[in-house]
Structure 1
Amino acid sequence: MNYDFDFKNILKIVTDGKELSYQLSKSAFEIIMSGKATDAQISSFLTAIKMQDHNPTVIAAGAEILRDKCSKIKSKENTIDVVGTGGDNLGTLNISTAVSFVLAGTNIPVAKHGNYSATSKSGAANVLKSLSVNIECELDIVERCLDEIGICFLLAPKHHIAMKYVGKIRQEMGIRTIFNLLGPLSNPALVKKQLLGVYDKSLILPFAKSLKTLGSTHAWIVHGSDGLDEVTITGETYCAELKNGEIKEFSINPSDIDLPTAKISDIVGGEPKDNAKEIIELFNGKKSKFRDVVILNSASALVATGNAINLQEGALKSIESLDKGKAMEKLEMLIEMTNL
């Protein structure tokens, strides 16, 4: 195969402002993530694709190739993920990380996919490391954690080796590219159920359509009216639900589960050690706005993944996980098993 010829043809299509088919999009990402494209070709492709806004066909194709190339782990059919794109620049506490343990405490397997922080002081990897979870453990241990404990952490760089072909170029470009969107869609456990937060409202429908193409069965894509890439506690959260192949849009509010609204400053975090301390205090029963936003996101995740009928039921299950020490138990078990 003449990769150079093929990629030049693909470049001609996108630089002419035309949309790529799903197959051609897959071919482009296959060439890029196999190390067959030059730096100049990759940067041209990424820039041209960015000019087409958020094309769900291209996003899904990129995620499919990233999934194909990654180091996968086995998971049960009902395994879920709670993940955000990052990039909201609000510097909140590690909400989705805390939510993952709350959900695991309701006996739902959680394959938490994440990375070190790119835009805040503390990403999922940073805070878990501060909590003494060995995030660098071997993949067989990661798989064992998911199977035996019901929760694991999938450190993106350990699973997505093919990203090495674009790392330097993305850094030099210094702008968001389509690769900022692919990570949350490329869980190495190949989960089909998730709560996924995005940094921009315009991404909600493209992500829903991409997940549909990728075979997800149950998902909510959410964006807070304050810009949060989670379900927010400051007001309205815009949502799209993917269920049974259908996509519908709606919104939710903290009042839906009788929670008061709060200010974004109430849930702003700090360094990883500070955020880790907040998670421990939450799991030990501390009442706070952080607890409220974790309950709201946990309830949303339970409904999104088909594990609760409504937000009220989801909230009750989440509160029980916290108040009966189940979330803390899952964290302690993960710390122990990853450090064997």
Structure 2
Amino acid sequence: MKAILNKLYQHERLSKSEAKKILIEIAAEKYNDAHLASFMTVFMMRPITADELSGFRDALKELCVKVDLSSYNTIDIVGTGGDGKDTFNISTLTSFIVAGTGQKVAKHGNYSVSSQSGSSDMLASFGYNFTNDERILRTHLEKANICFLHAPKFHPAMKAVSSTRKALALKTFFNMLGPLVNPSSPKNQLLGTFNLETARLYNYILQDEDINYGIVHALDGYDEISLTGGFKLFTKNGEQIINPEDLGQKRIEQSEIFGGNSVADAAKIFKSILDGAGTEAQNNVVLTNAAFALKIVDETKSFETAFEEAKKSLFGLKAKQTLEKLVGL
């Protein structure tokens, strides 16, 4: 690690193979916390390259506990986190709404590092037991239309740096990696990024792969469609800026999607929305994200049609029932 750190301190970049090798060594717990913190800090001080991100991703995918869910045509809906906006759990709620429409969801997630409540915090608060048993995950998909892939159960490298990440309490390149390394390799993905540069890197990496994807970045900094302003959308068909008004939606205030100051606060909001008692702003944000997720799976579907499907899932309490089924299995 010393040689790698000296190289990085001289403003040099890692090749794809070097990046892969160093992350494999990190996963093997070859380095102490000081080395890990120094290594992660480098990529907070300058942009990560496509080769570096690709190399790190290749290492995690090579080392991960893989599960084969390919027969279900799943979608993952996940953001990088690290946007500092402290919203409620939009991507997780969106996942349950999408599952409530009948679409299979393989949600990849983790505990929060830089916000109050991550997807794993939320699922754990509802009593969900994390597992990497493929048989159990398939049962969840068949009976609840959704399964949850808790990152530390699948990624030894994530586990090796978890204490350092928690101590730093800042977004690191691991935030950028999470959405790219779902161990089930779903064929459909809606990914959110905390900055435009990461969105472009994702697009560069994913555009040659045999998957359907949408990458979103709200221009005011959210790693999801926030309806607080316009957002950039990348797909295999190109890129575009979309404003709430283009979708027939009202712009909302940041305070309207605040997630509270604790996991308990976030869980209360989560339950309220699933009960059909969310505010208009809360509902429209999750429904809009759900509609774009459904459009990724079927690009012939109009936004209006997808939005109506999502509404039926939410207000028909199918999304709520999906959560209840998942936790009860």
Query: TM-score scaled to structure 1, two decimals?
Result: 0.85
Distance 1:8 1:317 in 2: 54
Counterpart pick for 2:286 among 287, 294, 311: 294
Residue number in structure 2 paired with 1:336: 328
In the alignment, structure 1 residue 265 sits paired with structure 2 residue 255 = yes
Distance of aligned partners of 1:255 and 1:46 in 2 relative to their CA distance in 1, 3 Å threshold: same
Question: Residues 22 and 288 (structure 1 numbering): CA distance in 2 closer, same or farther, change over 3 Å?
Answer: same
Contact 1:110 1:151 in 2 (8 A): yes
Instruction: Give the number of aligned pairs.
Output: 325
The answer for the alignment partner of 1:222 in structure 2 is 216
Residue in 1 aligned with 2:308? 316
Distance in 2 (CA, whole Å) between partners of 1:173 and 1:292 is: 34
Q: Which 5+ residue runs of structure 2 have no aligned equivalent? A: none
Contact 2:77 2:107 in 1 (8 A): yes
Deviations 1:117-137 (A, max 9, x none): 22222221222233x341335
Does the 8 A contact of 1:308 with 1:314 survive in 2? no
Query: Offset at 1:196?
Result: 1.1
1:279 is aligned, of 266, 270, 295, to 270
> Alignment partner of 1:18: what SS?
coil
Per-residue deviation, 1:151: 0.2
Tell me which of 170, 188, 211 is aligned to 2:183: 188
Query: SS of the counterpart of 1:194?
Result: strand
RMSD: 2.6
Task: Classify the secondary structure of the residue corresponding to 1:322.
Answer: helix
Shift of 1:97: 1.0
1:275–1:36: structure 2 CA closer, same or farther, 3 Å change rule? closer
Residue 111 of structure 1 and its aligned partner are, at CA, apart by 1.0
**Structure 1 counterpart of 2:233, from 239, 242, 248:** 239
5+ unaligned residues in a row in structure 1: which ranges? 1-6
Aligned-partner SS, 1:222: strand
Residue 292 of structure 1 aligns to a residue whose secondary structure is: helix
Which is further off, 216-225 or 99-108?
A: 216-225
Query: Which of the numbers 223, 248, 251 marks the counterpart of 2:241?
Result: 251
Residues 65-74 or 160-169, more deviating: 160-169
Separation in 1 of the partners of 2:168 and 2:266?
31
Judge conservation of contact 1:57–1:210 (CA < 8 Å) in 2. Answer: no
Give the TM-score of the pair, scaled to structure 2.
0.87
Other-structure match for 1:327: 319
Q: Secondary structure at the match of 2:203?
A: helix
